[in-house]
Structure 1
């Protein structure tokens, strides 16, 4: 029996879905999370799991299969015309890859949540919520920082796996929203994968019927985890 097969899994109680109205959600979680290490987490990621803090989870909803883990095989990825325009208009932005979070993150995160997500579950902004993205006891995390001159304007929190990177959460200064910084950071995460000779960029869950979560399909071709296997999508 493999180490993965020996993991203990549990199911959360059913609750209101965070993404689709009139739907309920349950999560399949590794419990306790002390069982996980970076090697096992990569295997879990390959089976559609995701990290929140120290917890690894995957949707397990009996009546709904809307959440599909999605990833980009970076050598196959082709930037669209609009994505190339995003890269072009941000040529002056300086990108820095670091492996330790900065104290400057919370003021930027707080501004982002306060101006863009006042109706969301993360409002009002709290440092404990930011720490669920930026800290993990059993995994290395990278931070793709973007600067205009010496001003920090964006951070893409990125888990580091053996075969790829995982885009965890991106926040940025809303004053620079016109630069399409969300898209820009994903494109730079793809570039970072190539620089580190990693095969995949994992983007979390694609939900076609949720406007806030269906943008990931714009990065093509991509692969989705459906019925326990990765299926390639070109269109």
Structure 2
């Protein structure tokens, strides 16, 4: 007998400094994902702008600010530009392997290097091995970790240079968190390639969207998300195509 669906209870966090816009306060609304209907609930909440972190679904609920907007790539209509095509070709030799969401020391060391290079003062900079394991392994939905490795040589497994924790939802792939060797001069554009690879994989699987999380208007850190077209953003009336006029500030 199927367990009855229980309507989730939502909670609101206390305001804290916004990590993206100076002088702003951040607040989130969240609910727990548990039980046999966790995946269904996560799918439904994902379509209205929620993101998953471990066993919690959340979205911004900031007083007087709507800068954070959910964005997703429309995979059937995606056409890579010239730079993106070059990156796909450049990194075509990488070995890409979907793994079960189980944290390894190799992944953690890659994450540490990524955070030290890209986000040395960020909130995740103090993440230890246990925190990383919690992020990867505590998922009540269909999650996997894509590993990106250099080609094997002399019978030895190639070096891990990229990874992404990803949820497979009913209508697409949701990129939860990606990290990579940000200091490798011989592998430029790895972060872009990881996104492109997700878009192409979703399209091959017949999934219409890749969810990229939040685009924060006015934040240069999030400006990269609008490079993947066509892109839809979530507004008060639902999902709609991104208007080019909305990018004039970048």
**Structure 1 length normalisation: TM-score?**
0.91
- 2:155 alignment counterpart: none
Deviates more, 1:46-55 or 1:176-185: 176-185
Q: Give the alignment of 1:131-170 within 5 angstroms.
A: 131-149=133-151, 150-170=158-178
Deviates more, 1:171-180 or 1:153-162: 171-180
Conserved in 2, the CA contact under 8 Å of 1:156 and 1:168? Answer: yes
Query: Secondary structure of the equivalent of 1:122?
Result: coil
Deviates more, 1:120-129 or 1:218-227: 120-129
- Give the ranges of 4+ consecutive aligned residues of structure 1 lying more than 6 Å apart after TM superposition: none
Q: Give the alignment of 1:26-41 within 5 angstroms.
A: 26-30=27-31, 32-34=32-34, 37-41=38-42
Distance 2:19 2:213 in 1: 15
Distance 1:162 1:14 in 2: 32
Relative to structure 1, is the Cα distance of residues 83 and 182 closer, same or farther in structure 2, using a 3 angstrom cutoff?
same
Shift of 1:29: 0.8
1:184-220 residue CA offsets vs partner (Å, 9 max, x unmatched): 0000001111232212100000012111112101101
2:207 maps to 1:198: yes
Q: Give the alignment of 1:1-235 within 5 angstroms.
A: 3=5, 6-30=7-31, 32-34=32-34, 37-103=38-104, 104-149=106-151, 150-176=158-184, 178-233=187-242, 235=244
Conserved in 2, the CA contact under 8 Å of 1:222 and 1:232? Answer: yes
Distance 1:135 1:234 in 2: 37
Relative to structure 1, is the Cα distance of residues 183 and 132 closer, same or farther in structure 2, using a 3 angstrom cutoff?
farther
Unpaired stretches in structure 2, ≥5 consecutive residues: 152-157, 245-250
Distance 2:159 2:198 in 1: 20
Distance 1:102 1:12 in 2: 28
Conserved in 2, the CA contact under 8 Å of 1:133 and 1:169? Answer: no
Unpaired stretches in structure 1, ≥5 consecutive residues: none
Conserved in 1, the CA contact under 8 Å of 2:117 and 2:183? Answer: no
Query: Secondary structure of the equivalent of 1:108?
Result: helix
Deviates more, 1:104-113 or 1:49-58: 104-113
Relative to structure 1, is the Cα distance of residues 216 and 19 closer, same or farther in structure 2, using a 3 angstrom cutoff?
same
Relative to structure 1, is the Cα distance of residues 45 and 117 closer, same or farther in structure 2, using a 3 angstrom cutoff?
same
- Give me the CA root mean square deviation: 2.0
Number of aligned pairs? 232
Larger Rg: 2
